[in-house]
């Protein structure tokens, strides 16, 4: 019965065909005329950026395109983006791409106005002033970055991930169009979808959960879990794509008003060191963290299993949780997510460093069950031994 705050900084335009109306939405919601488009070469290649640019040009917007964003976005690229946005005198940043692009756009919006490096604003509430407004157009159903107030950036010197958390970097407008995901490759659908599912699970179980975020998290699970296998194996299934996309956005709202927890702490540790795609990294550790956390709150973990239809109402909390762990392993296998030990870079000699890096993550205190560096070490070992 703790006090909590719930603010909604992002206007969401969602549904099939919303991408075609981007220009209208921008005109209705923003005063900007000089739009700095942040994207990556893959999105340019499939023609989405040229469509966007020509639609905007017709309505009198000036645009320029920044494509230098890599998966697990890097501090140096964001610094370059901030300088280019300032040189262009951008009055709005339009991010079109996956979570990496949207997270980079958030850091670019900060750096354009405040200068410096992303590291200068890491942590909670450290952005000193209002930043360039951001419009986010996700092309994957995963991170929920279009509605969150966080940006995860790789510190390339230290090989760790840092997180900027501030309501000032939440996009002002999100265009959530499931049609943009129809042609996503299988592994990207699988990994980003698992990321979304982990957001919902961690938002619901973490110590910073609250009743509104709980409702969103459960709704997200109900949509994401049944749609994920279908979206991966039959990418043209419009209903599955819709459920996954909307579910991912709802999960984003849930965790941005609660937190993520130890799955993300471990995923970010290996993402920083090995550049492992975020959703794949999350999937590898999810069952083991659920197993570890469940004794701290068996009831909530059982509700997850029942909400997703994995366990019946008759199953005890312990039985339901065991079924959830088993099914999360099976799901990752069915959608061809690689195992931790199969990653070519993994070296057991790194586990101590990875455990320390996970432990230092700002979301470690949010984990449902208190967790030490030694516990993390054991979880890395367990995930590795599972093969
Ligand atoms: Fe995530």
The rounded Å distance from CA 358 to ligand 1 centre is: 14
% of the chain residues with pLDDT over 90: 95
Options 3.30.1950.10, 3.40.50.300, 3.40.50.1970, 3.40.640.10; CATH for 11-181 is: 3.40.50.1970
In this prediction, residue 37 has a pLDDT band, given cuts at 50, 70 and 90, of: very high
What is the average pLDDT across 299-328? Answer: 97
Contact criterion met (CB below 8 Å) for 268 and 241: no
Per residue in 107-158, pLDDT (tens digit) is 999 999 999 999 999 999 999 999 999 999 999 999 999 999 999 999 999 9
Which single residue is written with the structure tokens 């194996």? 233
173-196 in b/e form (b: 16+ CB < 10 A) is: bbbbbbbbbeebeebbbbbbbbbb
The rounded Å distance from CA 69 to ligand 1 centre is: 17
Domains of the chain by residue range: 11-181, 186-385
In three-state form (DSSP H/G/I as H, E/B as E, the rest C), the secondary structure along the chain is CCCCCCCCCCEEEECCCHHHHHHHHHHHHCCCCEEEEECCHHHHHCCHHHHHHHHHHHCCCEEEEECCCCCCCEHHHHHHHHHHHHHHCCCEEEEEECHHHHHHHHHHHHHHHHCCCHHHHCEECCCCCCCCCEEEEECCCCCCHHHCCEEEEEECCCCEEEEEECHHHCCCEEEECHHHHCCCCHHHHHHHHHHHHHHHHHHHHCCCCCHHHHHHHHHHHHHHHHHHHHHHHCCCCHHHHHHHHHHHHHHHHHHHCCCCCHHHHHHHHHHHHHCCCHHHHHHHHHHHHHHHHHHHCHHHHHHHHHHCCCCCCCCCHHHHHHHHHHHHHHHHHHCCCCCHHHCCCCCHHHHHHHHHHHHHCCCHHHCCCCCCHHHHHHHHHHHHHCC
The rounded Å distance from CA 385 to ligand 1 centre is: 24
- Residue 85: closest CA among 68, 98, 60, 73: 68
173-176 and 150-155 as β-strands: parallel, antiparallel, unpaired? unpaired
pLDDT of residue 387 exceeding 80, the answer is no
The rounded Å distance from CA 230 to ligand 1 centre is: 21
Predicted local confidence at residue 4, as pLDDT: 85
Predicted local confidence at residue 303, as pLDDT: 98
- Residue 300: closest CA among 187, 177, 203, 188: 203
Other Cβ atoms closer than 10 A to 361: 25
The rounded Å distance from CA 145 to ligand 1 centre is: 9
Pairwise CA distance, residues 329 & 228, whole Å:
14
Max CA distance (Å), the chain: 63
What is the average pLDDT across 181-210? Answer: 96
Per residue in 70-105, pLDDT (tens digit) is 988 999 999 999 999 999 999 999 999 999 999 999
The rounded Å distance from CA 99 to ligand 1 centre is: 9
The rounded Å distance from CA 56 to ligand 1 centre is: 31
In this prediction, residue 254 has a pLDDT band, given cuts at 50, 70 and 90, of: very high
The rounded Å distance from CA 95 to ligand 1 centre is: 18
Token pair of 174, please? Answer: 């999100």
Per residue in 216-238, pLDDT (tens digit) is 999 999 999 999 999 999 999 99
Question: What pTM was estimated for this model as a whole?
Answer: 0.95
The rounded Å distance from CA 202 to ligand 1 centre is: 10
- Residue 361: closest CA among 148, 206, 254, 248: 206
- Residue 171: closest CA among 383, 348, 12: 12
The rounded Å distance from CA 87 to ligand 1 centre is: 32
- Residue 273: closest CA among 341, 348, 337, 357: 357
- β-partners of residue 155 are 160
pLDDT of residue 3 exceeding 90, the answer is no
The yes-or-no answer to whether 11-181 and 186-385 have a common fold is no
Pairwise CA distance, residues 363 & 181, whole Å:
29
Predicted local confidence at residue 5, as pLDDT: 84
pLDDT of residue 384 exceeding 70, the answer is yes
The rounded Å distance from CA 92 to ligand 1 centre is: 25
The rounded Å distance from CA 306 to ligand 1 centre is: 23
% of the chain residues with pLDDT over 70: 99
The rounded Å distance from CA 344 to ligand 1 centre is: 22
Pairwise CA distance, residues 253 & 73, whole Å:
22
Pairwise CA distance, residues 142 & 251, whole Å:
9
pLDDT of residue 32 exceeding 90, the answer is no
- Residue 216: closest CA among 228, 208, 204, 205: 204
Predicted local confidence at residue 1, as pLDDT: 66
Token pair of 45, please? Answer: 């290649």
The domain over range 186-385 is classified in CATH as 3.30.540.10: no
The rounded Å distance from CA 173 to ligand 1 centre is: 20
Predicted local confidence at residue 276, as pLDDT: 93
Predicted local confidence at residue 2, as pLDDT: 76
The rounded Å distance from CA 350 to ligand 1 centre is: 22
In this prediction, residue 364 has a pLDDT band, given cuts at 50, 70 and 90, of: very high
């Amino acid at each position: 019965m703790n006090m909590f705050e719930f603010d909604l900084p992002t206007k969401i335009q969602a549904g099939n065909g919303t991408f075609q109306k981007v220009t209208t939405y921008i005109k209705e919601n923003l005063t900007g005329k000089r739009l700095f488009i942040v994207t990556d070469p893959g999105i340019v290649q499939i023609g989405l950026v040229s469509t966007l640019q020509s639609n905007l040009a017709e309505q009198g917007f000036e645009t320029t395109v920044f494509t230098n964003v890599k998966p697990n976005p890097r501090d140096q690229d964001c610094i370059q983006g901030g300088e280019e946005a300032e040189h262009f005198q951008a009055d709005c940043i339009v991010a079109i791409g996956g979570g990496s692009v949207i997270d980079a756009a958030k850091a670019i919006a900060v750096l354009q106005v405040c200068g410096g490096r992303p590291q200068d604003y890491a942590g909670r509430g450290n952005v000193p002033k209002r930043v360039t407004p951001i419009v986010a157009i996700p092309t994957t159903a995963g991170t929920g970055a279009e509605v969150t107030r966080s940006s995860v950036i790789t510190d390339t010197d230290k090989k760790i991930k840092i997180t900027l958390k501030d309501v000032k970097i939440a996009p002002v407008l999100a265009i959530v169009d499931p049609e943009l995901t129809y042609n996503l490759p299988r592994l990207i659908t699988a990994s980003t979808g698992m990321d979304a599912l982990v957001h919902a699970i961690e938002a619901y179980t973490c110590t910073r959960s609250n009743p509104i975020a709980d409702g969103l998290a459960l709704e997200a699970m109900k949509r994401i879990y049944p749609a994920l296998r279908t979206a991966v194996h039959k990418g043209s299934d419009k209903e599955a794509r819709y459920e996954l996309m909307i579910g991912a956005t709802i999960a984003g709202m849930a965790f941005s008003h609660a937190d993520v927890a130890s799955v993300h702490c471990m995923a970010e540790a290996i993402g920083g060191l090995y550049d492992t795609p975020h959703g794949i990294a999350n999937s590898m550790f999810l069952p083991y963290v659920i197993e570890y956390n469940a004794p701290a709150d068996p009831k909530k973990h059982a509700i997850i299993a029942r909400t997703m239809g994995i366990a019946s109402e008759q199953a005890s909390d312990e039985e339901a949780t065991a079924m959830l762990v088993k099914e999360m392993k099976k799901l990752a296998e069915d959608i061809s997510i690689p195992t931790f030990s199969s990653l070519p870079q993994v070296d057991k000699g790194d586990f101590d460093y990875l455990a320390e890096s996970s432990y230092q993550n700002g979301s470690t205190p949010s984990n449902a069950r208190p967790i030490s560096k030694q516990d993390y070490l054991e979880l890395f070992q367990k995930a590795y031994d599972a093969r």
